[in-house]
């Protein structure tokens, strides 16, 4: 029997007539890294803000860390750590002053506060920069500091809203290894992102689109279930006319440009390679290379959203 | 309310102030500047009124009378003109505030012991000043008439003439009737109002604008802790401003401080809380820093300047306006300041004002705290 630290049922948030979050339903297990994946404006931030007690849901039910979303938002706030999408520490304070401040806010004090601050500084690798004014830090260091402030009081659940947007890939990897490390210790992480490579770090993924969850699986399940027929990578010249041609064919399920090639998914029972060969020859398109690949999360993502849009 | 959280907020605010020297400079320079500007500029004293004279008589008698004006510290005889048009022109151009016209039969009529009409033209655009000038002119004429009468009576053989009433005025509290003595204590109230409201007018809305509020409200911090923590550092800055204003009043403008300086500071501390709480309330409800700033300027400045009794005497206001003045805090603070500075009264005379201010400070803090929502907007 798994213990759920986040449970949400029929959660709705409306801003006037605009429905930002539309009857979503999910659970997050203790220690899980749960990804909330979706394009901009899909309702990711609104959801995470409701879970953190920053926005009152319009309707629905939910519990975070055992506390009611509607009635006990202040109790939730003591149990969680939150990293907002926009960097929101005090940039005229030094690194250590920011940590001190949040330590004070979460009621740490005395030698235990000092000890915990040093632990966190070491964890986020900012010991040598602790007296730097936060404004002067690199983006990656700022993000780590924001994480540090969020985990200072050892919350059982972390809510991260697009934590590594604008961060270089190496810093991003460091950041995620920190999150995974905490997951091993039983800290649950709820993260929103629109980066596919970030989503790969997540145990389970909820795909949110226009306020609704359109898929909720582990990332490998998502790939298998959504794209069981696999993805054909096609390199050809010219690229865009080829794409336009493919889109008109009835046997094509999805097609999109990826890098300098096309990713093509066919409908069931089609010999895709033969059809493409024939089509390209007829229209004088040069086929350079063609091969089956493992679908990436991005393929899954695009395919699910296209499917949703067609409905 | 946990003191550790309040302290954490207060400390953070101290860092903000300390790291932003410009705002710190503003806090110190603004009161000094206001004090100098108002202290020197705002005066109701009417002295050295520039005047022109048209003496149609040109006799010993008329010269003697004109001499009374030119010798007075209140008048400055700038022009002697030849005809009435000239005086009109000088008043029109603002060269003189007053014109004095003596008729050609001035000395003749006086010698004939008849009443001689003289004409005084006053630029009445500023009614208050015109009234005062009129008062001066009438006083000189009255004095002259009185002397003539006594002379006449004594010539009739009455030697021990006693006028029935001899007014011997003694002015209390502001003995030299200097308007600065009256203004400077009120000015301290203006400065404390503006400074107090401006100091805290930013503190909440700034966190919203910078985006730091989103994180702050995701923590378990309580609204009361947040408000108190934000007040503490600015309270000390307010005290700094107060000391500056009082010191300047006493040493630069030499306004007598007759009452207890401890009482002055103690009661001022309460007023600082009132002003800071008003600023916090504005900051809680305003959506942008710019708006908060403008609201703070208005809310801090206007009531104190217009309705507190600082410039305009409350009993002279229409009744409905007088009622409004009871609802604004500076009214009570101006009373406290003037009473302590000029009258030197003790707490037994000021406890009512003190109670009202305490009530207003508490109400202001309550509204600011209640108005603040720990929710994104």
Note the pLDDT of residue B325.
Answer: 93
The pLDDT mean for chain B works out to: 90
Q: Taking CB atoms and an 8 Å limit, are A84 and B12 in contact across chains?
A: no
Q: Per the domain annotation, does B377 fall within a domain? A: no
Q: Which domain, by its residues, includes B120?
A: 49-155
Say if residue B312's pLDDT is above 60: yes
The residue out of B155, B188, B206 marking a domain boundary is: B155
Indicate whether B86 and B235 sit together in one domain: no
- Segment A226-266, tens digit of pLDDT: 666 678 888 888 888 888 888 888 888 778 888 888 888 87
Note the pLDDT of residue A266.
Answer: 78
Note the pLDDT of residue B173.
Answer: 76
Q: Where in chain A is the domain with CATH 3.30.70.2470?
A: 228-294
Q: Where in chain A is the domain with CATH 3.40.50.300?
A: 4-220
pLDDT band at residue B213 using 50, 70 and 90 as cut-offs: very high
Indicate whether B134 and B263 sit together in one domain: no
Indicate whether B61 and B184 sit together in one domain: no
Say if residue A60's pLDDT is above 80: yes
What number is the average pLDDT over the span B167-183? Answer: 77
Say if residue A1's pLDDT is above 60: no
C-alpha span between B325 and B317 (Å, rounded) = 10
Instruction: Tell me how close the Cα of A146 comes to any Cα of chain B, in angstroms.
Output: 10
C-alpha span between B193 and B188 (Å, rounded) = 9
Domain count, chain B: 2
Indicate whether B241 and B149 sit together in one domain: no
Indicate whether B239 and B342 sit together in one domain: yes
Q: Which of A54, A82, A93 sits opposite B375 (nearest CB)?
A: A54
Instruction: Write the class of the CATH domain A4-220.
Output: alpha beta
What number is the average pLDDT over the span B201-221? Answer: 93
Q: Per the domain annotation, does B291 fall within a domain? A: yes
Q: Which of A52, A56, A93 sits opposite B15 (nearest CB)?
A: A93
Residue A22 in 3-state DSSP? strand
Contacts of B11 in chain A (CB under 8 A): 100-101, 104
Q: Per the domain annotation, does B160 fall within a domain? A: no
C-alpha span between B338 and B150 (Å, rounded) = 43
**Could you tell me whether strands A33-37 and A59-64 are parallel, antiparallel, or unpaired per DSSP bridges?**
unpaired
Q: b/e map of A136-153 (b: 16 or more CB within 10 Å)? A: ebeebbbbbbbbbbbbbb
Q: Which of B8, B218, B374 sits opposite A101 (nearest CB)?
A: B8
Q: Taking CB atoms and an 8 Å limit, are B8 and A100 in contact across chains?
A: yes
What number is the average pLDDT over the span B164-168? Answer: 78
Indicate whether B299 and B365 sit together in one domain: yes
Contacts of A103 in chain B (CB under 8 A): 8
Indicate whether B238 and B289 sit together in one domain: yes
Q: Which of A215, A297, A294, A305 is nearest to A254 (CA)?
A: A305
Q: Which of A49, A56, A77 sits opposite B219 (nearest CB)?
A: A77
Instruction: Write the class of the CATH domain A228-294.
Output: alpha beta
User: CATH no. for residue B73?
Assistant: 3.40.1710.10
B94: left (phi over 0), alpha (psi -120 to 50) or beta: left
Indicate whether B340 and B367 sit together in one domain: yes
Say if residue B110's pLDDT is above 90: no
Q: Which of B174, B195, B128 is nearest to B333 (CA)?
A: B195
Q: Kindly state the DSSP code that residue A132 receives in the 8-state scheme.
A: S
Give chain A's contact residues with B (Cβ, < 8 Å): 49, 52-56, 73-74, 77-78, 80, 82, 84, 86-90, 92-93, 97, 100-107, 109, 133, 149
Note the pLDDT of residue A189.
Answer: 94
Say if residue B212's pLDDT is above 70: yes
What number is the average pLDDT over the span A163-170? Answer: 83
Q: Per the domain annotation, does B162 fall within a domain? A: no
Selected residue with higher pLDDT from A219 and A94: A94
What number is the average pLDDT over the span B148-168? Answer: 79
Q: Per the domain annotation, does B165 fall within a domain? A: no
Indicate whether B234 and B339 sit together in one domain: yes
Helix axis angle, B329-338 relative to B179-201, nearest 10°? 140
pLDDT band at residue B230 using 50, 70 and 90 as cut-offs: very high
Q: Kindly state the DSSP code that residue B346 receives in the 8-state scheme.
A: -
Alpha helical stretches, state H, chain B: 3-19, 21-41, 60-70, 84-92, 106-111, 127-155, 179-201, 203-210, 212-216, 223-247, 261-285, 289-302, 319-325, 329-338, 351-371
Indicate whether B190 and B313 sit together in one domain: yes
Note the pLDDT of residue A2.
Answer: 67
Q: Taking CB atoms and an 8 Å limit, are B219 and A102 in contact across chains?
A: yes
Contact A20, A44 (CB under 8 A): no
What number is the average pLDDT over the span B314-326? Answer: 93
Q: Per the domain annotation, does B145 fall within a domain? A: yes
Contacts of B214 in chain A (CB under 8 A): 54, 84, 86, 88
Q: Which of A311, A306, A310 is nearest to A226 (CA)?
A: A306
Say if residue A23's pLDDT is above 80: yes
Indicate whether B24 and B39 sit together in one domain: yes
Q: What is the pTM of this model?
A: 0.80
Contacts of A73 in chain B (CB under 8 A): 374
Q: Per the domain annotation, does B301 fall within a domain? A: yes
Q: Per the domain annotation, does B170 fall within a domain? A: no
- Segment B62-94, tens digit of pLDDT: 999 999 999 988 899 999 999 888 999 999 998
């Amino acid at each position: 029997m798994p213990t759920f630290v986040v449970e949400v049922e029929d959660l709705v948030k409306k801003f006037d007539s605009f429905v930002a979050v539309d009857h979503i339903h999910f659970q997050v297990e203790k220690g899980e890294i749960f990804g909330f994946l979706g394009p901009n404006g899909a309702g990711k931030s609104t959801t995470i803000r409701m879970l953190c007690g920053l926005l009152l849901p319009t309707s629905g039910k939910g519990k975070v860390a055992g506390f009611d979303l509607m009635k006990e938002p202040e109790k939730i706030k003591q149990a969680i750590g939150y990293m907002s999408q926009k960097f929101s520490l005090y940039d005229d304070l030094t690194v250590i002053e920011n940590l001190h401040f949040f330590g004070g806010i979460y009621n740490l004090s005395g030698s235990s506060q000092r000890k915990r601050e040093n632990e966190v500084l070491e964890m986020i690798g900012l010991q040598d920069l602790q007296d730097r004014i936060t404004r002067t830090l690199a983006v990656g260091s700022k993000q780590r500091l924001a994480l540090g402030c969020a985990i200072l009081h050892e919350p059982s659940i972390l809510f991260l809203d697009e934590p590594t947007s604008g961060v270089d890939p190496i810093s991003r990897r460091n950041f995620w290894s920190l999150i995974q490390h905490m997951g091993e210790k039983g800290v649950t992480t709820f993260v929103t992102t629109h980066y596919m490579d970030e989503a790969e770090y997540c145990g389970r993924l909820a795909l949110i689109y226009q306020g609704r969850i359109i898929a909720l699986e582990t990332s490998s399940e998502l790939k298998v279930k959504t794209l069981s027929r696999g993805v054909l990578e096609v390199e050809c010249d010219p690229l865009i006319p080829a794409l336009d041609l493919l889109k008109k064919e009835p046997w094509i399920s999805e097609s999109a440009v990826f890098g300098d090639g096309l990713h093509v998914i066919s409908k069931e029972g089609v010999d895709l390679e033969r059809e493409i060969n024939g089509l390209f020859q007829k229209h004088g398109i040069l086929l350079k290379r063609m091969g089956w690949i493992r679908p990436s999360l991005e393929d899954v993502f695009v395919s699910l959203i296209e499917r949703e849009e067609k409905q | 309310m946990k003191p550790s959280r309040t302290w954490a907020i207060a400390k953070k605010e101290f860092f903000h102030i300390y790291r932003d020297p410009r705002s710190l400079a503003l806090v110190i320079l603004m009161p000094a500047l206001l004090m100098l500007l108002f202290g020197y500029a705002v005066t109701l004293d009417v002295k050295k009124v520039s005047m022109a004279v048209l003496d149609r008589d040109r006799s010993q008698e008329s010269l003697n009378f004109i001499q009374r004006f030119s010798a007075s510290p209140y008048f400055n005889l700038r022009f002697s003109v030849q005809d009435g048009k000239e005086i009109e022109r000088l008043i029109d151009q603002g060269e003189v505030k007053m014109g004095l016209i003596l008729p050609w039969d001035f000395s003749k009529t006086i010698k004939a012991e008849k009443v001689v009409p003289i004409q005084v033209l006053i630029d009445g655009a500023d009614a208050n000043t015109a009234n005062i000038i009129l008062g001066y002119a009438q006083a000189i004429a009255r004095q002259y008439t009185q002397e003539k009468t006594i002379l006449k009576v004594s010539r009739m053989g009455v030697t021990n003439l006693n006028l029935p009433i001899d007014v011997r005025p003694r002015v209390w509290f502001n003995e030299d009737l200097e308007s600065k003595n009256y203004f400077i204590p009120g000015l301290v109230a203006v400065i404390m109002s503006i400074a107090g409201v401006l100091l805290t007018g930013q503190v909440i809305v700034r966190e919203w604008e910078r985006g730091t509020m989103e994180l702050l409200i995701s923590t378990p911090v309580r609204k009361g802790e947040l408000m108190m923590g934000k007040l503490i550092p600015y309270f000390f800055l307010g005290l700094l401003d107060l000391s500056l204003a009082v010191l300047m009043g006493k040493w630069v403008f030499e306004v007598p401080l007759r009452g207890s300086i401890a009482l002055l500071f103690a009661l001022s501390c309460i007023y600082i809380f009132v002003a800071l709480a008003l600023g916090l309330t504005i900051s809680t409800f305003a959506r942008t820093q710019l708006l908060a700033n403008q609201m703070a300027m208005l809310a801090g400045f206007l009531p104190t300047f217009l309705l507190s009794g600082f410039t305009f005497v409350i009993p002279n206001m229409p009744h409905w306006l007088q009622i409004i003045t009871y609802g604004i805090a500076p009214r009570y603070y101006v009373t406290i300041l003037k009473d302590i500075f000029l009258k030197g009264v003790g707490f037994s005379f000021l406890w009512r004002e003190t109670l009202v201010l305490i009530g207003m400070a508490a109400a202001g803090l309550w509204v600011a705290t209640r108005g603040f929502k720990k929710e994104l907007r």
